[in-house]
Amino acid sequence: MVRVEHIALEKVQDPKLGSALKRWYQLCGQGGLYRREELGFGPLVGAPEILNGRSSVVATDADDPINYVFAFFGDDFAVYDDRNFVARRLAEIPDQDIMKVIISCFGEAIEARAPLAHRISGNFDNVEVTYDRIIFPTINKVSAVDRLVTLSAEICRT
């Protein structure tokens, strides 16, 4: 079972997540959205805290969330020991409970049109893990959310 708790952005525990959030506000302004087509991904995902962290970019262009596609993984990111999950759909995540949680969180971020933070706990591959994650939505030239940049930091593992 996977548990998701909404947390205030200021409550994330890892300094890298705080740095990424600060960078977001520097690029977008308070309450703004990152305009990917104007700015490109360089200033956002090129930051050390994102590029070398537990990060991903998910393309949300498809109508059905199970068809959202992973477009990028950071260096410290794997899905079920698979570091080559790029260009695969959410439907291909082996654990259906986790897939449903991810889709729900992504939907919230798209609707909010602002960064959202969650604390997620669950048993992943027989290991109890708790981590914080921020989802950063980006918009295209018609102001539709078209990508979600996620950055996660593990809090504990037992």
**At 72, which CATH number?**
3.30.450.20
Domain count, the chain: 1
Structure tokens at 154: 């593990």
Give the pLDDT confidence of 54-79 residue by residue, as tens digits.
Answer: 777 888 988 899 999 987 766 555 55
Q: What is the pLDDT of residue 137?
A: 92
Contact by Cβ (8 Å): 137, 145? yes
Q: What is the pLDDT of residue 109?
A: 94
What is this structure's pTM? 0.85
Phi, psi of 96 (to 5 degrees): -65, -35
Phi, psi of 133 (to 5 degrees): -140, 140
For residue 88, the SS3 value is: coil
* Residue reference for tokens 């593990």: 154
Mean local confidence (pLDDT), 8-27: 86
For residue 12, the SS3 value is: coil
Report the C-alpha gap between 26 and 147 in whole angstroms: 19
Give the pLDDT confidence of 85-116 residue by residue, as tens digits.
Answer: 677 888 988 888 888 998 999 999 999 999 99
Question: Could you tell me the residue range of the domain that residue 16 belongs to?
Answer: 2-157
